[in-house]
Amino acid sequence: MDIDSFFDAELDEHAAAFARTRAVLKQPFGQWVAMALVTIRAGGKIMFFGNGGSASDAQHLATELAVRYRRDRAPIAGLALTTDSSALTAIGNDMGFDQLFARQITALGRPGDMAVGITTSGRSPNVLLGLDAARAAGITAVALTGRDGGDTPGRADLALVVPSDTTARIQEMHIMLGQMLCGALEIALGLVPDERSSGN
C-alpha cells in the first residue's frame, strides 16, 4: 500500500464531493435555514435521527444547537432521537426496528417542529417512516441524504442530496451542512455576531 497515494486520493475525493455540494446545495441549504428559523422562532424544536454514523451526526448536531457551536449563547432547541436506550430497545423489541423514529416523533413532536432524517442512501426504512410520521403530524420533514436521494423525494418537505456515491464523503458533507445550519441559526437568531460580515 502506498500510504501517500491513499492520503491524496481520499482528500481528492473529499474535495470533489465538496465542490459538487457547493455547486448544487446552496439554494436547498438556504431553504433549510429559513424553515428552521420558522420552527425555532415559533417555539418549536429540531429533532435529528439516523442510523450508525448518521446516529452520531444526529447527536452531534442536536448537542451543538442545545449547547453551543461557535461560542456561548442561549440554547436552541435540538434533540436527537438516537440516545434513549430504553425507548430504542422497547420500540425495536415490541414494534420493530422500522418504527424506531416514527414512534418517538409521534410521541414527542408537535406541529411546527422540524424532523431531520439522516440517511446516506435515502433508503433506510426507519428514517423514511420517521419522515412520514413527521409530515402526518404537521412537523416539517427534512432529509439529509446522498447518491440519487433514494426514496426521500416526496417523503420530505425538503431533501438535501449530497452528490456523491461514497458513504464516507456523504457523511462528511452531512456534518458540514449540519454545522453550517447551527452557525447560521446562531447568527440569524441574534445569539452571536456575524463576524464574517463585520470583517473580524
What is the pLDDT at residue 200? 47
Three-state secondary structure call for residue 125 = helix
Model confidence at 44: pLDDT above 80: yes
**How many C-beta atoms surround the C-beta of residue 79 within 10 A?**
22
CA distance 129 to 113: 17
Q: Rounded to an integer, what distance in angstroms lies between the CA atom of residue 156 and that of residue 136?
A: 11
> Does residue 95 surpass a pLDDT of 60?
yes
First to last CA, the chain: 44
| Entry pTM | 0.95
pLDDT band at 198 (very low <50, low <70, confident <90, very high): low
Instruction: Give the three-class secondary structure for 46.
Output: strand
Q: According to the model, what pLDDT value does residue 197 have?
A: 64
Q: What is the pLDDT of residues 19-34, one digit of tens each?
A: 999 999 999 999 999 9
Maximum Cα–Cα distance across the chain: 55
Buried b or exposed e, range 7-18, using 16+ CB within 10 angstroms: eeeeeeebeebb
Contact (CB, 8 A) for 117 and 156: yes
Q: Does the pLDDT of residue 1 top 90, yes or no?
A: no
**pLDDT per residue as tens digits for the range 123-137:** 999 999 999 999 999
Which pLDDT does position 144 carry in this prediction? 98
| Amino acid at the residue 159 | A
